[in-house]
Chain A
Amino acid sequence: MPGYVPTNAASSGVKLDKKTLKSIAARSDRPGLIYIAQWLTFLAATGTLVWATLGTLWMWPAMLLHGIFLTVPAYSFSHETAHGTAFRSRWLNEAVLWVTSLLYMEEPLHRRYTHTNHHTHTWWVGKDSQMPFDTPMGFGGWLAEITGTALLRFHMQVFLHLAAGRYTSTMKMVTPEREFSKMTRNARIMLLIYALIAAAPFFGIWWVVWFLVIPRILGAPVMLLFTLIQHVELQENSPSILESTRSFRSNWLAEFLYMKMNNHVEHHLYPQVPFHALPKLAEAVQDQLPAPDPGFFKTNLEVMSVVLRRSLGRPTKAATIRQAPHMITEGGPVERIAQRTM
């Protein structure tokens, strides 16, 4: 027997009858295809804005807007397809996983296997290979996280390792051996595509810069603000998803960009439920769960305020978001619990 219990509904004491779960988790290609159509429509609209403002100062807010619509759904879609729940057809899942991981900038199988490990050992120090920052978080860690520099550095190291056929101990721990050759092939192809994009301006091709590269850089912090609040300030080393993970309220736009992953507790409890059914799942289990935290902006402002106060040695109790008991202090030196694993 293994020396662990996977972190999910069972380990969190949450129950849902099988018939309801089955009807909620039913698969279809339709919602994912509709999502692609909506995403492309948004990208066409924001891309038109970038085109119409090129050469003026307005191109910068236009590229930011375009970048948000490019980057956040790319993250969300690569996450959903890594789970294999976006579509009923497996080939569609795998094709979209490849393309969106290219945009998200992580080798797709590395994305899938480190994420399976994240679900087995959610927020367990030394076991979860997707802990993107040290905990408790300070302001320096917050900056490194939300600017995207830390993640980009990590993903580039992963690309180089895979391309060179050098597999780290974490990769070996979470990945079946037979996948390594595919990962190396993927990493080489993806690095070649990135190199071609980087070289494009030298051949007078600038549209990739205005429509892809700069928007991707500008959109990254917004994507990372979404992912930051999944687990920040919550309990490490708990078998209960209710203690380690946060859901937050959301408006339709954030729900669209994030593919309803604001229901993050629910997603970790029942990862087999596809994105479009998460609100239904949330409704079915709501009386067993803590109330979701406030919306995207308010939750992020609170997190920023807490980490700043922690770095200044001031009290760290947040006004409205959930925090693990040990995250709330009267100030003073911070004892590190977890070291980032990515």
Chain B
Amino acid sequence: MSQWIDACATDDIDEEDLIAWEHEGKSYAIYNTEKGFFASDLMCTHEEQSLEDGLVIDCVIECPLHGGRFDICTGKALSAPVHQDLKTYPVRVESGRVFVETG
């Protein structure tokens, strides 16, 4: 069942950056971008690599291992070596808190 979970405060994440967040044994990435806050799976779809140390550039997350890039808003795989999209999750911001709809 999907549910909105209070994940972090908005100022826990620097601008143009992300944090790793764990909930019920699953790892998520939560992003603060110029277009707002977004959430996705934490692991890259190319190999088993966390995106936590990745670079956020213009609403794109770049994987730290091989530089594969995903659109943060849609999860779309943008450039090699990634070809499989990243799963994204709805996000809502209320009173300085970031809520993620998991499920």
- Say yes or no: A271 contacts B55, CB within 8 Å: no
Does B35 sit at the interface, judged by CB under 8 A?
no
- Say yes or no: B47 contacts A6, CB within 8 Å: yes
Number of interface residues of B (CB under 8 A): 20
Does A116 sit at the interface, judged by CB under 8 A?
yes
Q: For chain B, what secondary structure do more than half of its interface residues adopt (helix, strand, loop), or is it mixed?
A: loop
Q: Give the tally of cross-chain contacts (CB within 8 A).
A: 57
CA distance A27 to B47 in the complex (A): 23
- Say yes or no: A120 contacts B55, CB within 8 Å: no
Most B-side CB within 10 Å, residue of A2, A19, A272: A272
Number of interface residues of A (CB under 8 A): 28
- Say yes or no: A119 contacts B17, CB within 8 Å: no
CA distance A109 to B81 in the complex (A): 9
- Say yes or no: B81 contacts A18, CB within 8 Å: no
With A22-B17, A22-B55, A120-B47 known as contacts, the answer to whether A270 contacts B80 (CB < 8 A) is: no
- Say yes or no: B49 contacts A6, CB within 8 Å: yes
CA distance A252 to B54 in the complex (A): 30
With A2-B48, A25-B55, A27-B57 known as contacts, the answer to whether A271 contacts B81 (CB < 8 A) is: no
Whose C-beta in chain B lies nearest to the C-beta of A9?
Answer: B53
Q: How far is the CB of A266 from chain B (nearest CB, A)?
A: 14
Q: Specify which of B17, B47, B67, B83 is in contact with A178 (CB 8 Å cutoff).
A: B83
- Say yes or no: B47 contacts A270, CB within 8 Å: no
| CB-contacts of B51-79 with A (<8 A) | 53-55, 57, 62, 64-67, 69, 79
Task: Spell out B's residues near A (CB within 8 Å).
Answer: 14, 17, 46-49, 53-55, 57, 62, 64-67, 69, 79-81, 83
